[in-house]
Amino acid sequence: MMKKSNAVMLTATSLFVLQAGCVAPSPEEAWPGYRTDGSGQLLKTADGHCWRTTGWTENKAVPECDVAITGEPVAEVENSEPVRNEVIEIAAPEVLRVTFAFDAADLTKESRIALKAWYQDVARLERPVVEIDGYSDPLGGYAYNQKLARRRAQAVASWWKQQSGDIATLQVEGHGEDSAVSGYRCQSVSVENLKSCYQQDRRVELRIQGK
């Protein structure tokens, strides 16, 4: 009776081992440190580079993605499914508008915070062109406002160049009082309230060229 029990236990154990050995690895286990699609295939950029995860380290490098590190050629496997070159498009950030005090071209604390967040979004793009357009309100002479708008655009461009990394090409231009945001609504405002009414016109707009 004891021998029969042992035989049954041995058979059950062997079956469990066989079943465990047949479990297919998950996509993450197949390519640790790299992003994969639902079928376990490597995701690559348009120029053929693999997408790494935050858990990637050099000891996880594979020749399919990092042959410069592994120093090994990619082994040819017959009847294997080709690696998909799936392009993941990163959307460009929306137009950013930062405003200035009356007759001033200094960046405010709020403007610097907004610029930093926008800069980080642009850093994810591949060599974009950033248009930096300065504007003024209609108060004052046209020539003076043109120069003031240019100074505001230059202030933003100078801030940008102080950040680490050359991530974009800048196109800087001053438009003076052209393209006012306030429209005609300030024409009926009292003189003492004109400056506050035209606040949104004293601005610099940043956009990705072509977006």
pLDDT at 5 over 50: no
Given this model, what pLDDT does residue 32 score? Answer: 86
Mean pLDDT score across all residues of the chain: 81
∠ at Cα 199 (193, 202), nearest 5°? Answer: 135
**What are the sequence ranges of the domains in the chain?**
26-89, 96-208
- Mean pLDDT to the nearest integer, 13-17: 44
Q: Which CATH class is domain 96-208?
A: alpha beta
Q: How confident is the model at residue 34 (pLDDT cuts 50, 70, 90)?
A: confident
Confidence check: pLDDT of 31 > 90: no
Considering 23-27, 140-144, 180-184, the range whose residues carry the highest mean pLDDT is 140-144
Q: Residues of 9-33 as b/e, b for ≥16 C-beta within 10 angstroms?
A: eeeeeeeeeeeeeeeeeebeeebeb
Which of 2-11, 19-28, 43-52, 64-73 bottoms out in mean pLDDT, i.e. has the lowest?
2-11
Phi and psi torsions of 171, nearest 5°: -120, 110
Percent of the chain with pLDDT over 70: 77
Q: Do 203 and 97 form a contact (C-beta atoms < 8 A)?
A: yes
pLDDT tier at 64 (50, 70, 90 boundaries)?
confident
Residue 199 has pLDDT above 50, yes or no: yes
pLDDT in tens, 97-155: 999 999 999 999 999 999 999 999 999 898 899 999 999 999 999 999 999 999 999 99
In this prediction, residue 73 carries a pLDDT of 60
- Whether the CB-CB separation of 199 and 209 falls below 8 Å is answered with no
- Tell which residue, 59, 60, 54, 58, has the closest CA to residue 31: 60
Per-residue model confidence as pLDDT tens digits over 78-88: 655 666 666 66
